Amino acid sequence: MSIRTVNTQPFNDQKPGTSGLRKAVTVFQQPHYLENFTQSIFNSLEDLQGKTLVLGGDGRYYNRQAIQTILKMAAANSVGRILVGLKGILSTPAASAIIRKNQAYGGIILSASHNPGGINGDFGIKYNISNGGPAPEKVTEAIFAHTKTITQYQILESADINLDHVGSFKLGTMDIEVIDSVIPYLELMESLFDFNLIRNLLSKGDFSICIDSLHAVTGPYAKAIFEGKLGAKTGTVINEVPLEDFGGGHPDPNLVYAKSLVDILFADNAPDFGAASDGDGDRNMILGRNFFVNPSDSLAVITANAHLVKGYKNGLTGVARSMPTSGAVDRVAEKLGINFFETPTGWKFFGNLLDADQATICGEESFGTSSNHIREKDGLWAVLFWLNIVAVRGESVEQIVKSHWQEYGRNFYSRHDYEEVATEGANELVNHIRSQFDTLKGKQFGNYTVNYVDDFSYTDPIDGSVTTNQGIRIIFTDKSRIIFRLSGTGTKGATLRVYLESYEPDVTKQDLDTQKALKELINIAEEIAQIKKFTNREIPTVIT
């Protein structure tokens, strides 16, 4: 085996987004493309020699090939040891847990999360730092800087490593350990939740659940936890085999892309509880029988009931949410007398708060919730948290949510996604709204009066870093909100997200249909932004 130095030239499109570098598989398959970005990661890391890294992905198409390339490049760049997931599989939350447990230098996660997979789908790569969380902007900017000047990369000439069996290997001077990542993740979950209590719940003949892994990464984890450790009946976990194309589906746990699960939970004789997770296992959708739990409400309910759960009985130091997430959790934090933070979208912004013990639980409206046990979103953690709450309270999911609304009021909340719209039109829409900043303040739209308009910026309370242009907020005098934001996770065109929120404290009005309750705000959003004109779309692609 010998190290080969390969001459290369920069690509001009390797700037990481909110969750690393995501592109179509065909882009990553270009000669030198993956190698350039991987070498740029290694070039940006100080004192990498002899250190331990974690490596794995969500099993999508090109995952195995990429892992073999990265292993050979890591060996050529003097990495000391790599822990790689069995069969190349490593959920994002499990990767974070393994980085932290082994005090690794960092990790490389191969995933495009909830984006479609397969040969014509998407692929992604991101670097996580030693706390287990996504690299902060100063790290991703350093990686990007190297991608713009790279002229060569190093790779070890060797045969591929067998990823299909647990074991230890040598690649040059580098040690490789192929590990079953399900085991340490299961042990971590068992330390946080009352498995005996949940097992008793699942053993009852009158309580049933359905867990949909969408042919994505959580299948092995969910089978081991729910059907193995917790004794749920065989078949509880569906679509459990990870497939390179996610079975032709879209691994995004929402009402549209997880429709098969929604149909099960809204059918006659539906299970009592249902949940789905996404491509890399960091997102979750929670359903009760004939009842959908909005992710913003889920965050609020988890926070309000954390004292009922073993790993959180000693209380929370604080809670954080992304700016577009509804304000439902804000009132919980106020009642509990704990810290509250509003951050930009992107889990990396929670890392400093968690490391400084300023927050314990964090969440995003995009079906992501987690806590200080790792530094990533964690889909199965949220599922277990809900089951623990249900087991303690002895109430249905619907009863728990509605009693929460009675105590705190209800935030009617919805997100309208316009996917793969023309980038030029999306940018024109944003500029059109910005041109109205000076005239919107104080303007009345039916029952709503604009209090202020801004483009959200955030100053990190821990390190003082400033992040700007994170989404346009239109805040009304009654604290209702319309938010416009271009997402950074798509790979084709642009994704426009429109967030709508209205607070309703009156219990007699809390059972309204969400879209009907928000209809006036939906019309105002169209009037201000001219969405149909700029996107050339009559309706959203996805409504959640």
Which of the residues are catalytic?
113
CB atoms within 10 A of CB 428: 14
User: In whole angstroms, what separates CA 5 from the centre of its chain?
Assistant: 36
Structure-token match 């890591």, residue found? 74
Residue from 455, 450, 443 nearest 476 by CA = 450
* Contact between 353 and 341 (Cβ < 8 Å): yes
| CB environment 289-299: b (16+ within 10 A), e (fewer) | bebbbbbbbbb
Beta bridge partners of 122: 24
Please enumerate in sequence order all residues whose Cβ is within 8 A of that of 510, keeping only pairs 6 or more positions apart, or say none. 402, 405, 406, 409, 410, 504
Residue from 145, 117, 129, 176 nearest 43 by CA = 145
Q: Do the bridges between strand 52-57 and strand 106-110 make them parallel or antiparallel, or are there none, so unpaired? A: parallel
Structure-token match 């801004």, residue found? 454
Q: How far is the C-alpha of 458 from the C-alpha of 398, rounded, in Å? A: 35
Dihedral sign, CA of 197, 201, 202, 208? Answer: negative
Which H or E run contains 57?
A: strand 52-57
Supply the angle between the helices 33-44 and 137-147 in degrees, to the nearest 10: 130
Residue from 508, 528, 274, 493 nearest 386 by CA = 274
Angle at 131 between CA 322 and CA 22, to 5 degrees: 60
Q: How far is the C-alpha of 431 from the C-alpha of 529, rounded, in Å? A: 9
Phi and psi torsions of 111, nearest 5°: -165, 145
* Contact between 416 and 306 (Cβ < 8 Å): no
* Contact between 481 and 473 (Cβ < 8 Å): yes
Q: Do the bridges between strand 2-7 and strand 21-24 make them parallel or antiparallel, or are there none, so unpaired? A: unpaired
User: Measured between alpha carbons, how far is residue 89 from residues 25, 177, 251, 284, 430 in Å?
Assistant: 18, 13, 16, 19, 39
Beta bridge partners of 483: 473, 499
Q: How far is the C-alpha of 218 from the C-alpha of 166, rounded, in Å? A: 19
CB atoms within 10 A of CB 126: 27
Q: Residue 317 carries which side chain, given as an amino acid letter? A: T
CB atoms within 10 A of CB 316: 19
Phi and psi torsions of 336, nearest 5°: -75, -15
